[in-house]
Amino acid sequence: MRSTRRAFLAGAMGAAASMVGGAAGADTSPKRRVGAVAYAFNYSLGLFDSYKTRVGERWDVFRFVEETRKAGGDVAQVFFSMIHGLDEGEIGRLRARAEELDVRLEVHGGLAGRRDFDHTLRQAASLGAKVVGCSFGMLVRPDKIATLDAWDEFTSWARARLRELVEVAKPLGLVIGVENHLDFGVEELRDLVEGIGSPHAGVIFDVGNTVGTLDDPTKAADILGPLTVATHYKDFAIEETERGFRFTMVPLGCGSLRLPEITERLLKHVGPGVSFSIEMMNGQQFEVPWLEDRFWVPYRNKPAREIAATLRHIRGKAIDRAEFKPQSEVDKLPHEAHVRLEQERIARCIAYLRQVLAPLGG
């Protein structure tokens, strides 16, 4: 049964990759497009409520695209709230500006359960985007979903909702990319997307979030790679605690993830139209209490071998402590310094990722 489904999905995702490759500013050379997710400039854009009230100018979506280009990027993944209130004329001008700068636009629609997600899909189509991302939650187990029955109910709802979104996306020529967002494990997400059986359903592969569901990031690239239509590149400094893991986001190459290994695996599966977008949320911290018994109650069939592989991955690389700057420290920076930190770090991350891709043919 799985081989039959995989054969179907191979063709389906080939069609999806073709649609993605035809996005505005499509590749005219083998060079992989690398750029930024809007959250890389979350302070400058005022995406967090706490940042909106800080003294200092906040950027609009036009400035985000321009700053991404200035940082060396040629793909910009816009968060839905940045374009939600734009009229048709403004959407047209944004598309024209991105094409002028040769920046491919993607859109992330946030939570899949949003009532006005259809509006985001229509705006994305007008922008010339081909991928619209979504997620179904963050850190949902065990605090939000505590039992296996509740998890199964959640999965059933997610499957039905994804079908609804795909039906809207199809006539618009869009692909829905479901992000592994510290909710579904990589095999669970694979089964969710494959179960839809449509070239309009794929995955936004987040290279760092895999550890939060105790999945080996390198193996995850093999599992989700064939379904991947867009990416989130990040690096976490992962520390082991009495209860599990503490994650702190750091610039690419400075944390616990073996990004060259992950990227080499991922490139075996994704087509040239899939962009690599960096999500650099300076100092973001959270904990995953996987050593608590209650953590595992809403999980089924998580082999010890997978957990061991995850531990080997993060224990095999040292953290660059000079780059370890938690969000509480970052948030104390004056406005100009905070903006400059985001600009400098995303430029460094884009340069780093291009260096990783170059010898791999990307």
Tell me how far apart the alpha carbons of residues 289 and 296 are, in angstroms, rounded to a whole number: 10
Q: Is the pLDDT of residue 237 over 90?
A: yes
3-state secondary structure string, the chain? CHHHHHHHHHHHHHHHHHHHHCCCCCCCCCCCCEEEEHHHHHHHHCCCHHHHCCCCCCCCHHHHHHHHHHCCCCEEEEEHHHCCCCCHHHHHHHHHHHHHHCCEEEEEEEECCCCCHHHHHHHHHHHCCCEEEEECCCCCCCCCCCCHHHHHHHHHHHHHHHHHHHHHHHHHCCEEEEECCCCCCHHHHHHHHHHHCCCCEEEEEECCHHHHHCCCHHHHHHHHHHHEEEEEECEEEEEECCCCEEEEEECCCCCCCCHHHHHHHHHCCCCCCCCEEECCCCCCEEEECCCCHHHHCCCCCCCHHHHHHHHHHHHCCCCCHHHCCCHHHHCCCCHHHHHHHHHHHHHHHHHHHHHHHHHHCC
Q: What is the pLDDT of residue 50?
A: 86
Q: Quick one: tokens of 114?
A: 């949003």
Q: How close are the terminal C-alpha atoms of the chain, in Å?
A: 34
Q: What is the pLDDT of residue 23?
A: 34
Instruction: Return the percentage of the chain with pLDDT > 90, whole number.
Output: 89
Residues in the chain: 362
What average pLDDT score do residues 309-325 get? 95
What average pLDDT score do residues 287-304 get? 96
Q: What is the pLDDT of residue 337?
A: 97
The pTM (predicted TM-score) of the whole model is 0.93
Q: What is the pLDDT of residue 357?
A: 97
18 pLDDT tier (thresholds 50, 70, 90): low
CB 259 within 8 A of CB 227: no
Q: What is the pLDDT of residue 210?
A: 98
pLDDT (tens digit per residue) in 103-140: 999 999 999 999 999 999 999 999 999 999 999 999 99
CB 115 within 8 A of CB 164: no
4: CB partners within 8 A, 6+ apart: none
- φ and ψ of 75, to 5 deg: -145, 140
Query: Which residue type, as a one-letter code, is found at position 260?
Result: P
| CATH fold for domain 2-360 | TIM Barrel (3.20.20)
Tell me how far apart the alpha carbons of residues 123 and 183 are, in angstroms, rounded to a whole number: 27
Q: Which helix (H) or strand (E) holds 90?
A: helix 88-101
Q: Is the pLDDT of residue 346 over 50?
A: yes
Q: Is the pLDDT of residue 5 over 70?
A: no
Q: Is 29 exposed, middle or buried (0-12, 13-18, 19+ CB in 10 A)?
A: exposed
Tell me the β-bridge partners of 278.
36, 233
What average pLDDT score do residues 172-200 get? 98
